[in-house]
Structure 1
Amino acid sequence: MRFKLENGIPREMISCHMGRVEGYMIEGQIPAADIRRLLQERPDAFGFSIPGTP
C-alpha cells in the first residue's frame, strides 16, 4: 500500500494488482488489449486504473 501511495496512486483508485509499464502506472485487473492500446496511443496520462477489483 505504501508503495502505491508513494508512486502517486490516489487512495480511491487503489486496487488489487499494480504494475509500472513503460512509465505508466497500471492499477487493477486491466485487460491486456487495453494496456496495448495505452502503449500504442501514449496519451498524456499517469496510468490506468480499475479501482475496487478484488
Structure 2
Amino acid sequence: MQRQLGRQVRVVDDSNRPALQKRAGVPADVSSCHTAIADGMAFEGHVPIADMKRALATRPKGVRGLAVGGMPLGSPGMEVPGVKTQAYDVVAFGPGGRRLFARHGS
C-alpha cells in the first residue's frame, strides 16, 4: 500500500479497533476487517487505492472517509482467480452524510 499510495504507511494492530473506528467516524454498519487513516481521512475495508487517491486529492466537502462494507469478491485483496467478481459500492461518509463515491464490479 505504501508504494501504491505514495505515502508513508505504518501498520498498527489495535486491539480496540471499534474505538478507533468510532474516533475516525466510521459508521458501524459499514465497519469491516481493517481501517486505514491517511492524512486525516479514514478508509474502511477493501477500498481501492484509486478511490483513496481521488478522495485524498479532491477532499470532497463533508467527507471524512470511504468504506466498502463486508469483503466483496474482486475488491482489492479479495481477488479469486476463476471466480466471478461481485459488484460493490464505495461509500463516502462524514458530517455531510453518506453518498455513493464509486461503484465497482459487474
Structure 2 length as normaliser, TM-score? 0.46
Q: Secondary structure at the match of 1:19?
A: strand
Spell out, residue by residue over 1:1-54, the C-alpha distance to the aligned partner (whole angstroms, 9 max, x if none): 232124321210101120111111100111111111111111020100001127
Q: Which protein has the larger Cα radius of gyration, Structure 1 or Structure 2?
A: 2
Greater strand proportion? 2
Q: Contact 2:26–2:65 at 8 Å: present in 1 too?
A: no
Alpha carbon RMSD of aligned pairs, Å? 1.6
Q: Higher relative contact order by CA 8 Å / sep ≥ 6: 1 or 2? A: 1
Match of 1:23 among 10, 28, 40: 40
Match of 1:5 among 22, 31, 40: 22
- The change in CA–CA distance for 1:35 and 1:7 in structure 2 (over 3 A counts) is closer
Runs of 4+ in 1 over 3 A off after TM superposition: none
d(CA) in 1 for partners of 2:49 and 2:31? 19
Match of 2:68 among 20, 26, 50: 50
Aligned residues, how many?
A: 54
- Aligned sequence identity (%): 33
d(CA) in 1 for partners of 2:71 and 2:22? 17
Greater helix proportion? 1
